[in-house]
Amino acid sequence: MPYKPNPSRYSSMLYRRCGRSGLKLPAVSLGLWHNFGDVDVLSNFRAILHRAFDSGVTHFDLANNYGPPPGSAETNFGRILKEDFRGYRDELIISTKAGYHMWEGPYGEWGSRKYLISSLDQSLKRMKLDYVDIFYSHRPDPDTPLEETMGALDHVVRQGKALYVGISNYQPEEAARAMQILKELGTPCLIHQPKYSMFERWVEGGLLDLLGQEGVGCIPFSPLAQGLLTDKYLHGIPDDSRVAKGVGFLTENQLTPERLQQIQQLNALAQERGQSLAQMALSWILRDERVTSVLIGASKPEQLTDSLRCLENIQFSEEELGRIEHILG
């Protein structure tokens, strides 16, 4: 049976304007960092993408190196786009990035014009697309002039290969310079994608203020701190977890007794709010209107549906916010 989207898919999703641009994004977007590579099950990630679009999630976020192996998430996403979403491209926001290692030799990573433009060309071929909606510089390059990196972003927009451009993992000072260069080139920065969660709050040290002042959107990644802000680690480290298997970026020494106590106290507050810990962690980020969207992953459709319930309660009382600050110390 060919896929037919839910006809009421736009009725329950919250859409927010991205900075001062004309673009709106769903408050929750789907990232394909994990679970969409060749090592994963095609039928499962097809079901996740269907569930997302049926729920009003119109934004799918990729990067050249997502997999594993690198590139396979884009290839698999392109296959499902062609087979299932052929008539819906104009309802979708598709983003990709370049910056981390993708191929051998001196031109396979960082921020040179050579690498960024070559990488986008490869991404478009893998996804069988004429253009992406957003193309990011995935990380700043300490050895390439920022003018060159931002000039490459401006160039791909003028080529018609991207509609908008963004930056990811840029600190406030670097971000301010990048935004100024792009503004002078005539291709303003649409959005910044930083790492942000209750346990990682560096963006509050100037970046969110900068984005608000400049009218640039914000779409945090890793909002659940690699799973720490879920019910998975409430009672320690389960045997089937990424931590126990030594897979991914989360390590056993990050789950200290103090951190475990914080997780349990936050979970108790979430239950008082009628939410899971994960739902509250997402709501807490979305409470700030400078945040356009929050980027989540999903290993199965049910997990995505559960996360989307964060939108049912993104308001926090002053008392609740005070308790969270006290817990986080």
In the 8-state DSSP scheme, what is residue 88?
A: G
What's the pLDDT tens digit per position in 43-64?
999 999 999 999 999 999 999 9
Total residues found in the chain within this entry: 329
Give the list of residues 6+ apart from residue 283 with CB closer than 8 angstroms, or none. 275, 310, 311, 313, 314, 316
pLDDT at 236 over 90: no
Percent over 70 (pLDDT), the chain: 97
Supply the mean pLDDT for the chain.
Answer: 96
Residue 81 vs residues 18, 62, 126, 292: alpha-carbon distances, Å: 24, 13, 11, 25
Q: Judge whether 28 and 311 are in contact, CB under 8 Å.
A: yes
Which helix (H) or strand (E) segment holds residue 239: the answer is: none
- Mean pLDDT, range 262-273, rounded to an integer: 97
CATH ID of 15-228+289-316, from 3.50.40.10, 3.20.20.100, 3.40.50.970, 3.90.340.10: 3.20.20.100
Domain boundaries, the chain: 15-228+289-316
| pTM score of the predicted model | 0.96
- Is residue 44 classed exposed, middle or buried when 0-12, 13-18 and 19+ CB atoms within 10 A define those classes? middle
Confidence of residue 246 (pLDDT cuts 50, 70, 90): low
Q: Judge whether 152 and 182 are in contact, CB under 8 Å.
A: no
What's the pLDDT tens digit per position in 283-298?
999 999 999 999 999 9
Nearest residue to 285 via CA among 213, 227, 229 = 229
Q: So what's the pLDDT on residue 217?
A: 98
